[in-house]
Homo-oligomer: A and B are copies of this chain.
């Protein structure tokens, strides 16, 4: 029988797996017309969503303050991925929405993620990959769409 690996290997492998996928995604995004996107930008735009949102709500979704969310919005607005328009029903609010370029980057990202997953399936076999996904779902029962990752690591 084989002995168990040390427990500290598992989290590092999980992180490496995540990193390798995200790095490959952004290498491919750069090749297909989005060289300026950073990993955090994908999380922000995913949190904005097709329906748009506001700075306060975006902050809630990302798990940061509205001020931090506003800075992300400003960055992505200047880069051409988001627009801000006045809400006709509430003069306090500014509606943040994806531009065509923003939507394109999300569509492209979904497509590239599928391609990367196919690469893992080719290496591991479809059944082993599905087993890994099932097992990860079992130990991380939350909604995978939560995007409050940024800023979590460094902490206070």
Contact B117 A7 (CB under 8 A): yes
A16 touching B140, Cβ below 8 Å:
yes
Q: Which of B17, B130, B139 contacts A124 (CB 8 A)?
A: B139
Whether B152 contacts A19 by the Cβ 8 Å rule is yes
Decide if A21 touches B11 in the complex (CB within 8 Å).
yes
Whether the Cβ atoms of A110 and B6 lie closer than 8 Å is yes
Category for how many chain A residues contact B = 35 or more
Does A88 reach chain B (CB closer than 8 Å)? Answer: no
B138 with A39: CB separation less than 8 A: no
Interface bits A136-156 vs B (CB < 8 Å: 1, else 0): 111110101110011011111
Binding site for B on A (CB under 8 A): 2, 4-22, 25, 38-40, 109-110, 112-118, 120-121, 123-124, 126, 128-133, 135-140, 142, 144-146, 149-150, 152-156
12 extra interface residue pairs, beta carbon distance < 8 Å, beyond A20-B140, A39-B153: A7-B110, A8-B110, A9-B133, A10-B120, A12-B145, A15-B149, A18-B18, A38-B155, A40-B155, A124-B138, A132-B132, A132-B135
